[in-house]
């Protein structure tokens, strides 16, 4: 059985150094995720099994090349993990294949010149994934540009002192795409891989028949994903709680149960964002990373 992981975290967006739409917690997120995967024996910390791309090394070409590396040679029973921490966005679906007319995107370091990574790009690669491969896609980025998160009361003092209490991981789409989206406000938003949602404040994992991987999204399709100083260190709120809950529960916990615990913990910290877990019913009820 092969175990492999591709971990991407981008604080520093082009141009390198000060000047881009930079973040502060994404590299810390990657370090936390790498340590968690290694300590729990999910994926060993070795160059042959774990690729880590951060900041200027996390270009569009490098991420897609490494994603192909992750999937190459995959067979039934293998455990694969793709983790991304950084900005997210959306663009108008010019191809016309999306029901909601939007393509959700991840933003590589050089997105301004090389372009964003669309959900279509990832789905085309995932189409060749053999049956029985255990692939978990974990995303800590914004999937929406319209919603904002209420500031937890405990952080208001920091904000008043001039230190940003949190940041959202969202980048405005290019002007032309943004114009088309603004001109069609009735177009619904969606999650990166498949649609899902929440009714009446109650949030459940979303069963997607036939999905050949599992998606852990840091927020709902109409929310932003936050990063904030936690214990004096900037971290993604979702990633912090995901790794903490996973280390506490161990590998005997099911995906559905871990997802519920992460949601409770995020709300307990005062954040409104709600994570989204998606997969087949069988995968949701299986133990994590199996």
Residue 119 placed within a domain:
yes
- Asked about 109 being catalytic, the answer comes back as no
Choosing from 87, 109, 143, 213, the catalytic residue is 87
Domain carrying residue 45: 3-284
By the 8 A CB rule, do 132 and 208 touch? Answer: no
Residue 290 placed within a domain:
no
Choosing from 26, 107, 109, 142, the catalytic residue is 142
Could you read off the pLDDT tens digit of each residue along the chain, which spans 290 residues?
999 999 999 999 999 988 889 999 999 999 999 999 999 999 999 999 999 999 999 999 999 999 999 999 999 999 999 999 999 887 654 444 443 445 678 999 999 999 999 888 999 999 999 999 999 999 999 853 222 122 233 333 343 334 445 566 656 555 444 444 445 544 433 333 333 333 333 456 889 999 999 999 998 866 788 999 999 999 999 999 999 999 999 999 999 999 999 999 999 999 989 999 999 999 999 999 99
Query: Per the structure, how many domains does the chain have?
Result: 1
Residue 289 placed within a domain:
no
Contacts of 107 (CB under 8 A, 6+ apart): 10, 13, 86, 87, 88, 89, 116, 117, 141, 171
Strand order in the sheet with 102-106: 88-92, 102-106, 117-118
Residue from 213, 243, 235 nearest 34 by CA: 243
User: What CATH code is carried by the domain that includes residue 77?
Assistant: 3.40.50.1460
Residue 200 placed within a domain:
yes
């Amino acid at each position: 059985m092969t175990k492999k992981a591709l971990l991407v975290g981008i604080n520093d967006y082009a141009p390198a150094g000060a000047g881009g739409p930079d973040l502060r917690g994404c590299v810390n997120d990657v370090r936390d995720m790498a340590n968690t995967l290694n300590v729990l024996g999910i994926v060993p910390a070795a160059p042959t099994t774990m690729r880590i791309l951060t900041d200027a090394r996390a270009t569009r070409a490098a991420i897609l090349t490494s994603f192909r590396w992750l999937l190459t040679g995959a067979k039934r029973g293998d455990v694969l993990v793709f983790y991304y921490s950084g900005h997210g966005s959306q663009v108008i679906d010019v191809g016309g294949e999306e029901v909601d007319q939007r393509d959700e995107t991840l933003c590589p370091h050089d997105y301004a010149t090389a372009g964003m990574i669309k959900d279509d790009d990832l789905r085309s690669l995932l189409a060749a994934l053999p049956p029985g491969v255990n692939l978990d896609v974990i995303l800590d980025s914004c999937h929406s540009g319209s919603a904002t998160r209420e500031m937890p009361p405990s952080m208001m003092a920091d904000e008043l002192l001039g230190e940003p209490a949190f940041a959202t991981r969202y980048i405005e789409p290019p002007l032309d795409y943004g114009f088309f989206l603004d001109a069609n406000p009735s177009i619904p938003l969606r999650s990166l891989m498949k649609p899902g949602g929440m009714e009446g404040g109650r949030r459940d994992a979303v069963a997607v028949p036939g999905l050949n991987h599992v998606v852990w999204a840091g927020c709902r399709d109409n929310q932003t994903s936050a990063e904030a100083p936690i214990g004096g260190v900037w971290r993604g709120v979702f990633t912090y709680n995901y790794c903490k809950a996973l280390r506490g529960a161990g590998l005997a916990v099911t995906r559905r149960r871990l997802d519920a615990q992460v949601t409770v913990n995020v709300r307990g910290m005062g954040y409104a964002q709600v994570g989204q877990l998606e997969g087949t019913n069988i995968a949701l009820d299986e133990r994590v990373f199996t």
